[in-house]
Amino acid sequence: MAFLNKDIDIIDLGLRDYKEIWDFQEQLFQEILAIKIKNRREETNLDTPNYFLLVEHPHVYTLGKSGDLSNLLITEEKLAAINASFYKINRGGDITYHGPGQIVGYPIIDLENYFTDIHKYLRFLEEMVILTLAEYGLKAERSKGETGVWLDVGTPFARKICAMGVRASRWVTMHGFALNVNANLGYFDHMIPCGIKGKAVTSLHVELGKTEVSMEEVKEKLLKHFLQLFEAKVVEKINQ
Dist. CA 87–CA 71, nearest whole Å: 13
Dist. CA 208–CA 198, nearest whole Å: 23
Dist. CA 113–CA 49, nearest whole Å: 9
Question: In terms of C-beta distances under 8 Å and separation of at least 24 residues, what long-range contacts does 20-27 make, across chains too?
Answer: 21/53, 21/55, 21/57, 21/106, 22/87, 22/89, 24/53, 25/53, 25/106, 25/108, 25/174, 25/175, 26/174
Write out the catalytic residue numbers.
194
Q: Fill in the DSSP letter of residue 231.
A: T
Dist. CA 135–CA 121, nearest whole Å: 22
Cβ neighbours of 168 (radius 10 Å):
17
CA 103: distance to chain centroid? Answer: 8
Dist. CA 229–CA 240, nearest whole Å: 26
Four-point Cα dihedral 179, 220, 16, 192, nearest 10: 0
Rounded alpha-carbon distances, angstroms, from residue 179 to 37, 111, 228: 33, 22, 19
